[in-house]
Chains A and B, each alone.
Chain A
């Protein structure tokens, strides 16, 4: 059966032809390449290199960036790409988010002309993979107190410190690393062969198993002077990147939820208990109706946020709300879908348990659910509640 995405309020009619075509291209690719292979990739704990090549060939990496060979699509199109990729698997969407929003975007926005010309054309084709080093073992929600330091040694910078939970780290050709230079957070481009830089893979994950997660370790890592991003200082740099990635996640979560909903609906219609399909029982219908309701609300949230991104009328708090809400309902839908599948829900024959485990990570990364609540709390009251000192 062809995949029929839940679109109760006909969001499709709001899209441009170009946006629909890009969406369909990615949707077909996910059907053809991801869905038949994702469970094996998860079991093996690998992100198949073929997927990198395909994403580059489709031309969707760094989707909303313009110039330097980048696609120059609308933010809505970028959102749709994330939605379709995450319908396949959150790990695949994570790869694209990190490459486009976290590695390409800071070079595109804060890099020198030379840096942009050197890195972006090869990153949009997927030839070079990027990663983003902000989080540290002891500094997750509080990146401002990071320990990683850069020292100006005259003709080079010396980096020391460690980053953790870095998607794509081990397979990356370059890392955009945030470190303190004279107490001020700056962005540095570290290449994989730079002396003193290693990126060991983290193992033992029960979530995002088809995505590579790594540590980045800098031990007297020597990098040339022209690798610092010249045009940004402070937390504004990493936070700008995170805004774009979080925007993509708000759409991606919808894709994961759509996948779980479809699986639950199909299962409920075919599973017979007490002589009737379980879809005919009120408790199951109540669950399906709740899923439809929350997915529809999440779609409208994501679409309108996309409009605001394209018009430039957004504020970061808009993104916090959408990321937090959409991941929250997607996770709840995944859990509920697992419930409807009964014992079968734990098998890899169905996508629900995989989405559920993935979404636990998605709820936490890119600003935890609670941190986004605090961002909104500060917006509402004018009082920050992240720390006891103001």
Chain B
């Protein structure tokens, strides 16, 4: 039994995003981080590995800078690293990314896959189910925790009626939502170990995946509209105006 965790490097959620020429300007992003939902997946995968679950391989598809994120994963305990080098991830459609990741999982020999429910940049949310489809594997989404359950795995997931426990066997894919777990902090020992874990770098072609034609073309990115400025009222004379606005426009009183 091998565990794979699929990670994506995204602009840090606190980084300023600017649009230039109808595209997000990636060169202006000050900080790149592991997508937060992927962090939950990684932590849960580490916990499963520590409870006797086998080797953990961290896989990413992305440009050269993404290897830093893999090293970060190694520092907290990933055993091996696979980097599928694709310089411009935005030129690929979701099915192509799924094909690449599914092929990388097969290449690693893993049959249990952890990933985030969606990436914090594109928010497409298709990777988990898509990879599961290609692997012909069970897929559990909105997962907050995975624990061993005899020969199977028990996943906790949010449902409209409260938490739901789902038992599945490998091959399976878990797509993580925010739960109670947080990715552990690395330590010096882990960082020094990570130095020795060199990522295996492959191209899509090495995995037999053709990425020549994308079925989707992005027309353009635009920044979200600016919020209209707030209104300011001063002095006792404005009370009547404020009350009428709260009652008639905001409908709060």
Q: Do A and B bind each other?
A: yes
Chain B nearest CB: distance from A103 CB in Å?
19
B207 within 8 A of A: no
Residues of A close to B68: CB separation below 8 A: 17
Task: Tell me if B187 and A18 are in contact (CB < 8 A).
Answer: no
Task: Tell me if A28 and B185 are in contact (CB < 8 A).
Answer: yes
**Distance, CA A72 to CA B194, complexed state (A):** 15
Chain B nearest CB: distance from A61 CB in Å?
10
Chain B nearest CB: distance from A183 CB in Å?
42
**Interface segment, A52-60, A155-163, A213-221, A224-232?**
A52-60
- Contact A21-B185, Cβ < 8 Å, known A1-B14, A2-B14: no
A284 within 8 A of B: no
Task: Tell me if B71 and A58 are in contact (CB < 8 A).
Answer: no
Residues of B close to A72: CB separation below 8 A: 192
Residues of A close to B75: CB separation below 8 A: 21
Residues of B close to A63: CB separation below 8 A: 188
Q: Per-position contact with A for B1-35: 1 when CB-CB < 8 Å, else 0?
A: 00000000000101100000000000000110000
Task: Tell me if A2 and B188 are in contact (CB < 8 A).
Answer: no
Chain B nearest CB: distance from A50 CB in Å?
13
**Distance, CA A319 to CA B189, complexed state (A):** 28
Q: B12, B14, B31, B194: which contacts A21 (Cβ < 8 A)?
A: B194
Task: Tell me if A58 and B194 are in contact (CB < 8 A).
Answer: no
**Distance, CA A17 to CA B199, complexed state (A):** 14
Task: Tell me if A29 and B185 are in contact (CB < 8 A).
Answer: yes
Residues of A close to B186: CB separation below 8 A: 21, 25, 58
B111 within 8 A of A: no
- Contact A21-B191, Cβ < 8 Å, known A1-B14, A28-B185: yes
Chain A nearest CB: distance from B201 CB in Å?
16
- Contact A2-B187, Cβ < 8 Å, known A17-B71, A18-B195, A21-B72: no
Task: Tell me if A17 and B185 are in contact (CB < 8 A).
Answer: no
Task: Tell me if A17 and B187 are in contact (CB < 8 A).
Answer: no
A181 within 8 A of B: no
Residues of B close to A21: CB separation below 8 A: 71-72, 75, 186, 191, 194
**Distance, CA A73 to CA B72, complexed state (A):** 18
Residues of B close to A59: CB separation below 8 A: 187-189
Q: Per-position contact with B for A114-142: 1 when CB-CB < 8 Å, else 0?
A: 00000000000000000000000000000
Q: Per-position contact with B for A1-41: 1 when CB-CB < 8 Å, else 0?
A: 11010000000000001100110010011000000000000
- Contact A22-B191, Cβ < 8 Å, known A2-B30, A28-B185, A29-B185: yes
Residues of B close to A17: CB separation below 8 A: 68, 71, 195
**Distance, CA A4 to CA B16, complexed state (A):** 12
**Distance, CA A4 to CA B186, complexed state (A):** 21
Chain B nearest CB: distance from A382 CB in Å?
42
Q: Hey, which bits of chain A sit against chain B, CB under 8 A?
A: 1-2, 4, 17-18, 21-22, 25, 28-29, 57-60, 63, 71-73
> Mind listing 27 A-B residue pairs with CB under 8 Å?
A2-B15, A2-B30, A4-B30, A17-B68, A17-B195, A18-B191, A18-B192, A18-B195, A21-B72, A21-B75, A21-B186, A21-B191, A21-B194, A22-B188, A22-B191, A25-B185, A25-B186, A57-B185, A57-B187, A58-B187, A58-B188, A59-B187, A59-B188, A60-B188, A71-B188, A71-B189, A72-B192
Given contacts A2-B30, A28-B185, A58-B186, 4 further A-B contacts (CB under 8 A): A17-B195, A18-B195, A21-B191, A29-B185
